[in-house]
Amino acid sequence: MKMKAMMTPAGIAVAMGIGALSLTACAPVAVAKKPSSTMVDIAAETAPAPTACPAGVGEGASCLSGQDSAGALYVIVMPKQWNGDLVLHAHGGPFLGAPTVKRVTEDVERWTIMPRLGYAFASSSYRQGGVAVTAAAEDNERLRRLFIAKVAKPKHVYLHGQSWGASVAAKGAELFADGKPYDAVLLTSGVLGGGTRSYDFRLDLRVVYQYLCRNHPLPSEPQYPLNIGLPADSPMKQADLAKRVDDCLALNKPAAERSAEQAAKIKTIVDVIHIPERSIQAHLNWATWHFQDIVQKRTGGASPFGNVGAVYAGSSDDAALNAGVLRYKADPKAVATLSADADLGGKIPVPVLTVHAIHDPTAMVELQERFGRTMAAAGRGDALVQTFTGDKDHSYLSDPTYAALMDALTTWTAQGKKPTPESIAAGCEKAKATLGQTCRFEPKYQVKAIETRVPKRDRP
């Protein structure tokens, strides 16, 4: 393996500059122009510098880190026995605040299965925090080009997106489809309903929570439209919201210590919004600060989210609930702006393989149905294979799960042999013999339409 890396003063500074981690569709899809910010002189980019490898990447692996010309930080892992292929990783979140090497390192440590299987692994922090899908896709493509120019030329490049990063990867595969820079795409636990569809349930959560609890905002505070998340000048912190949620729902207490009223409110949220109790706080956080990021930084102060026409069901008194929740119209221009950045068109010219936990508490499994519909509408349905597992987690599933997926994807790429959910499940059992852990693929599972979980609503 030939590696063109120099220990420059700038590279050393970048390698040591680990900052603090900050916070964590039939919709119209605008055709995004190919981004110009990736069209930089890669030869002029600073070469990555050798750095200490994160834990668990495999004995004998070497690592590089750096910062590209747009400001994105990155880490590259080269296994001792490199198979010649690169996995380009798009991390989830999105996280708010400035990018950090710490965020990248955490994902490298989470996905050590890739270098342990022999793949080079490259992960970017993206140049900025927040809900900016296209920019993150650009940053990944820049890292691919930088890897080829400064490190080595891979035989194949596999684009991997996890969670929100699956949307980033899918968007990048569409944006840069002309030259087919990626040989195949792996999307895991993906938020793949498109930006204008994937977050509807979080507005639903905000309005139902407010109907029940009346403390976000408090009656004594200025009242603002809940579909903006928070006003730009709000001083609220996550700890403040957590206290309000505990005051109303007592999520911080065992179920036996909650009042009957608190238990009833939790049941209403779980039954109406269709999310587990354990994810209520997290989704309220995202419906607060991520919505604020989108509205204040991406869509010009107007909200792309609305719930007019949504009919909520599952409470003890649906008529009172529907009459009492606050209603908001999505702003058409804001919808168009978010759509251009974060909706998907499905025109991915290479094989796409997905996996999703059926009981995922963060990204509901029905988002896969929306994505399948999008790919089919673009005439690329035959290029998609979707798999599902019986897991109840959103993040890392198990080593043999990803080993089976990568084996299937590389075989599909190199030999044209399209896998099936059954063959991938069998591959997982084979990988488990050497890697241990679990295999929970459910090849017969049929995902339901997103509308069975999130109520339809009027759209601009």
DSSP letter at 82 equals -
pLDDT of residue 14: 31
CATH superfamily, domain 9-194+347-451, is Alpha/Beta hydrolase fold, catalytic domain (3.40.50.1820)
Which pair of tokens denotes residue 218?
Answer: 């408090």
Residue 416 tokens read as 């044209």
Q: Given the structure tokens 């590089």, which residue do they identify?
A: 64
Q: Which pLDDT belongs to residue 456?
A: 97
Q: What is the dihedral of CA 450, 446, 161, 296, to 10 degrees?
A: 10
- Sheet strand arrangement including 73-78: 49-51, 62-67, 73-78, 120-124, 85-90, 156-162, 184-188, 352-357, 384-389
Helix (H) or strand (E) holding 74: strand 73-78
Look at residues 98, 46, 54 and name the one whose alpha carbon lies nearest to residue 76: 54
Task: Return the closest-CA partner of residue 86 out of 119, 48, 45.
Answer: 119
Cis peptide before 361, with omega less than 30 degrees from 0? Answer: no
* b/e per residue 291-303 (b: at least 16 CB within 10 A): bbbbbbbbbeebb
Per-domain residue ranges for the chain? 9-194+347-451, 198-339
* Beta carbons within 8 Å of 114's beta carbon, 6+ residues apart: 77, 87, 89, 121, 160, 402, 406
Q: What pLDDT is attached to residue 21?
A: 27
Q: What is the pLDDT of residues 261-292, one digit of tens each?
A: 999 999 999 999 999 999 999 999 999 999 99
For 65, the token pair is 């880190």
Residue pLDDT tens, the chain, 460 long: 333 333 332 332 333 232 322 333 333 333 344 444 455 678 889 999 999 999 999 999 999 999 999 999 999 999 999 999 999 999 999 989 899 999 999 999 999 999 999 999 999 999 999 999 999 999 999 999 999 999 999 999 999 999 999 999 999 999 998 888 999 999 999 999 999 999 999 999 999 999 999 999 999 999 999 999 999 999 999 999 999 999 999 999 999 999 999 999 999 999 999 999 999 999 999 999 999 999 999 999 999 999 999 999 999 999 999 999 999 999 999 999 999 999 999 999 999 999 999 999 999 999 999 999 999 999 999 999 999 999 999 989 999 999 999 999 999 999 999 999 999 999 999 999 999 999 999 999 999 999 999 999 999 9
Predicted local confidence at residue 39, as pLDDT? 55
217 cis-preceded (ω within 30 degrees of 0) = yes
Measured over all CA atoms, what is the biggest interatomic distance in the chain, rounded to whole angstroms?
A: 68
pLDDT (0 to 100) of residue 26: 35
What is the rounded CA–CA span in Å between residue 331 and residue 166?
Answer: 26
- pLDDT tens-digit profile of 80-105? 999 999 999 999 999 898 999 999 99
Q: Which of left, alpha, beta for 194 (phi over 0: left; psi -120 to 50: alpha)?
A: left
- Is the Cα dihedral 83, 87, 88, 91 positive or negative? negative
Report the C-alpha gap between 335 and 196 in whole angstroms.
7
DSSP string, 225-273: -GGGSS-TT----HHHHHHHHHHHH-TTS-GGGS-HHHHHHHHHHHHHH
Closest C-alpha among 149, 42, 111 to residue 401: 111
Q: What is the DSSP letter of 27?
A: S
